Structure 1
Amino acid sequence: MAADVKERTAPFSERQKMKAKGRQVMLRPAIPRDAEELRRRLARVVREGVYLDETPDSLPDKQEKKEEIQEIQDAGGMYTVVEVDGEIAGAAILKRGNRGISRHTARFRTWLTPGYRGMGLGRKLMEYTIAWARTQEVEKINLDVWSSNDRAIELYKKYGFKVEGRLRKQAILHGKYVDEVYMSLFL
């Protein structure tokens, strides 16, 4: 029991190595050199047409992605990649509220490419994100998710996120209306 308590109170590290399903996993801050691979992998997720309200044409190019990483980090936010066996498998982003009245909040976004789902990486990214947010004095994490994404909603609820609202029939996925669900976690 004492080891468990010690593990939960250990200092946060921006670079975390672990194993998942026998594979090497690394969570670390994104760097400019990741931009092209992040752009390619995110485009793969967008092409699925299920998780993100974007099109491949709307995604930033390599230079814009580099600038996005830098801007988020310079503004006190988090842009983290998860690597599996040295390849980027996904990302988690916390964009801080404006430096004024909403600075205590952050908007969460995450994605994993096909082939890396079901490995527990979503849980690892969620734990990393919450721990990072606590070290940065973020008081509230906000996110939105399609109502059809049961797996993500259950993960968020497991970590204490509560539904704050929804926009009914906000998207059409596979010919059916889905709601956009707004959730938040107070730290």
Structure 2
Amino acid sequence: MKIKNQDFEVKGLTYSIRSAIIEDAKKLSEVRVRIDGETENLDRDKGEGLINIAGFEQLIKNDTEMPSNLFLVAVVKGEIVGFSRCEGNHLKRYSHKVEFGVGVLKDFWGYGIGENLLKESISWADSYGIKKMNLKVTETNDRALKIYSRLGFETEGTLKKDKLLSDGKFYSTIIMGRWNES
């Protein structure tokens, strides 16, 4: 699925959010590896679960064609600095929901990019008739937890001691969901 491009200016930074296109595949492959190396908030260490250019081309193609999927990128001065995906399910019993994930380069934290990617995804999901959005977040990611709660996500469960971080300790993963009543 595709959305209309949206432009934002936050704290002097101008950026746009748009649907991913095939030509973004190379840059997305590079940006994802970089984001994975900048934070432990995601599931992967740098270089793990690598998606190459062909892999991103296929994801973008599928997400553009599937009405229950959405792949967005955040762009600053022509460069991708973040992305998000909503992935639906073709099974009838799960066709009412999508899984949401987001990543933003650390240099661009604090400009509302992740939040605006989520808001655009929520707007798309609501207009498309998606009833439920789910996501997972590490318990230590306080900023994300506050944003998700403010935008209507509620804690639905906890996967205790689910993730091993670099300090050698285990941390829990919070499962959150947002239900669209309309």
TM-score (norm 1): 0.89
How far apart are 1:73 and its partner, in Å?
2.6
Q: Is the 8 A contact 1:45 1:51 kept in 2?
A: no
Contact 2:132 2:179 in 1 (8 A): yes
Which residue of structure 2 aligns with residue 114 of structure 1? 106
Deviation at 1:44, TM superposition (A): 0.8
Q: Does the 8 A contact of 2:38 with 2:105 survive in 1?
A: no
Aligned to 1:162: 154
From 75, 80, 100, the counterpart of 1:83: 75
Secondary structure class of the residue paired with 2:123: helix
Which segments of 5 or more consecutive residues in structure 1 lack a partner in the other structure?
A: 1-12
Partner of 1:141: 133
% identical aligned pairs: 28
- Partners of 1:59 and 1:179 lie apart in 2 by 24
Q: Residue 63 of structure 1 corresponds to which residue in structure 2?
A: 54
Kept in 1: contact 2:38–2:106 (CA 8 A): no
Residue 64 of structure 2: aligned partner? 73
Is the aligned partner of 1:32 residue 2:22? yes
Q: Give the aligned residue type for 2:57.
A: K
Asked whether the 8 Å contact 1:95–1:108 carries over to 2, the reply is yes
1:73 aligned partner, one-letter code: T
Q: Tell me the equivalent position of 2:42.
A: 52
Structure 1 partner of 2:171: 178
| Structure 2 letter corresponding to 1:20 | V
Q: Which amino acid aligns with 1:74?
A: E
- C-alpha contact (below 8 Å) 1:162/1:184 kept by paired residues: yes
Deviations 1:110-160 (A, max 9, x none): 010110001111221121111111111110000001111111111100101
Q: Partner of 1:58: helix, strand, or coil?
A: coil
Aligned alpha-carbon RMSD (Å): 1.3
1:43 maps to which residue?
33
Q: Letter of the 1:17 partner, please give it.
A: D
